[in-house]
Structure 1
Amino acid sequence: MSKKAIGFIPLRKGSKGIPGKNKKKLLGSPLFTWVLTEALFSDLDEVYIFTDDDEIIGYVNQNFSWSKKVKTFKRDASNATDTASTESAMLEFCTESKVSFEIFCLLQATSPMTKSTDINLALKKLRSENYDSLLSVVKTHRFTWSKNGESLNYDYRNRPRRQDFDGLLIENGAIYCTTQEALMNSRNRLSGKIGTIEMVEESLSEIDSETDWSIIEQLLISKFKTKKSLGRINYLILDVDGVFTDGKVSFSKDGELSKVFDMRDGMGLEILRQHQVEIIVMTSENSEVVAQRMKKLKIENTFLGVKDKFSFLHKVCEEKAISFENLAYIGDDVNDLSNMLRAAWSFCPANATKAIKYHADIILKNDSANGAIREACEFIINYNLRFNDL
Structure 2
Amino acid sequence: MKKIGFIPLRKGSKGIPGKNKRKMVGRPLFTWVLGAAYFSDLDEVIVYTDDETIINFIEKEYHYTSKIKVVHRPEATATDTASTESAMLAYAEHIQYDFDVFCLLQATSPFTTSENINESLKKLNEGFDSTVSVVHTHRFLWNEDGTTINYDYTNRPRRQDFKGLLVENGAVYTCTKSVLKNKQNRLGDKVAVVKMPEDSLLEIDSETDWIAIEQLLIERQQRAKRTSPLTHLVLDVDGVFTDGSITYTKDGEHTKRFDMRDGMGLEILRQFNIKVIIMTSENSELVAKRMQKLQIKDTYLGVKDKFTLLQKIAKEDGISLSHFAYIGDDVNDLANICSVGWSFAPNNATAIVKLNADVVLSKDSANGAIREACEFISTYNKRF
Aligning the two structures, in what range does the TM-score lie when normalised by the shorter sequence? over 0.9
Q: 1:243·1:372 contact (CA, 8 Å) conserved in 2?
A: yes
The one of 350, 354, 357 equivalent to 1:353 is 350
Counterpart secondary structure, 1:341: helix
Counterpart CA distance in 1 for 2:154 and 2:253 is: 74
- Tell me the equivalent position of 1:123: 121
Q: 1:82 to 1:252 in 2, by over 3 A?
A: farther
- Tell me the equivalent position of 1:205: 202
Q: 1:249·1:256 contact (CA, 8 Å) conserved in 2?
A: no
Where do 5+ consecutive residues of structure 2 fail to align? none
- Tell me the equivalent position of 2:305: 308
Once the two structures are superposed, what CA deviation does each residue of 1:13-66 show, in whole Å capped at 9, x if it has no partner? 011111111110111100111100000100001010001111101100100111
Counterpart CA distance in 2 for 1:196 and 1:248 is: 52
Aligned pairs for 1:1-390 (under 5 A) are: 3-98=1-96, 100-126=98-124, 128-252=125-249, 256-387=253-384
Counterpart CA distance in 1 for 2:231 and 2:95 is: 45
Tell me how large the CA RMSD over aligned residues is: 1.4
Question: Which segments of structure 1 move beyond 3 Å, counting only runs of 4 or more?
Answer: 251-257
TM-score normalized by the length of structure 1: 0.95
**How far off its partner does 1:215 sit?**
1.3
Q: 2:282·2:301 contact (CA, 8 Å) conserved in 1?
A: yes
**How far off its partner does 1:99 sit?**
5.3
Where do 5+ consecutive residues of structure 1 fail to align? none
Q: 1:162 to 1:252 in 2, by over 3 A?
A: same
Once the two structures are superposed, what CA deviation does each residue of 1:57-81 show, in whole Å capped at 9, x if it has no partner? 1100100111211111111123211
Once the two structures are superposed, what CA deviation does each residue of 1:86-140 show, in whole Å capped at 9, x if it has no partner? 11111111122435101110000000000000000000011x2222211000000
Counterpart CA distance in 1 for 2:90 and 2:221 is: 37
Counterpart secondary structure, 2:208: helix
The percent of aligned pairs where both chains have the same amino acid is 60
Counterpart CA distance in 2 for 1:253 and 1:97 is: 54
TM-score normalized by the length of structure 2: 0.97
Counterpart CA distance in 2 for 1:351 and 1:155 is: 57
Counterpart secondary structure, 2:20: helix
**How far off its partner does 1:151 sit?**
2.3
Counterpart secondary structure, 1:21: coil
Q: 1:123·1:177 contact (CA, 8 Å) conserved in 2?
A: yes
